[in-house]
Amino acid sequence: MAKLNEEGQWIILMGFIISITILILALIIAESSLVGKTTSESVLEFPKTDIQDLRSLIFQLKSNNWNDLINPDYRQDIQTLFSERKNAIVFYYNDSRILYIHYNNGITSYNEIHEEK
């Protein structure tokens, strides 16, 4: 029986190490193309600025001694524009000095009860 040839073991070992290293680095590159995707998608989907702007507008209406807040024309403007341009249903009303704000775009809903002292 011929004797097993034991030469060139270092070369084979180096070949293993290099190929495994390249594999790991390729995995890292493949993963890195997705960096920030989920984060930025959820940031874009969440209607933070819509809710902030709606609150800001309603509080602006309230500032004029609540008169603009009960104006049905303004309420209809806001509701129609929100449903047709911003894909959201909004509603607000007041019970004496308690203000209710509702916002819903099918994914995110926001409800607020603001009581003025």
Partner 1 sequence: MVNQNAQIYTIEGISASILMIMTAYLIISSSSVVTPQETHINDMQLEQVGHDALVVINTPREKGVQSILYECIKNDPVPHPGSNADFNNYFNQLLNSRTFSENDTLHFKIQLYYRDRISGEIQPPIDFTSDNTAYLRDDAVKVTQWVKMGNDAIDPDLRDKIILVEALIWRS
Q: Which residues sit at the interface with partner 1, rule CB under 8 A?
A: 10-11, 14, 17-18, 21, 25, 28-29, 32-37, 40-41, 43-44, 49-50, 53-54, 56-57, 60-61, 68, 73-74, 76-78, 80-81, 84-86
CB of 74 to partner 1, least distance (A): 5
| CA–CA distance, 115 with 99 (Å, rounded to integer) | 6
CB of 34 to partner 1, least distance (A): 8
Q: For partner 1, which is the closer residue by CB, 2 or 35?
A: 35
CB of 41 to partner 1, least distance (A): 5
Helix axes 48-63, 72-85, angle to 10 degrees: 170
| CA–CA distance, 13 with 20 (Å, rounded to integer) | 11
Closest CA relative to residue 114, chosen from 73, 54, 35? 54
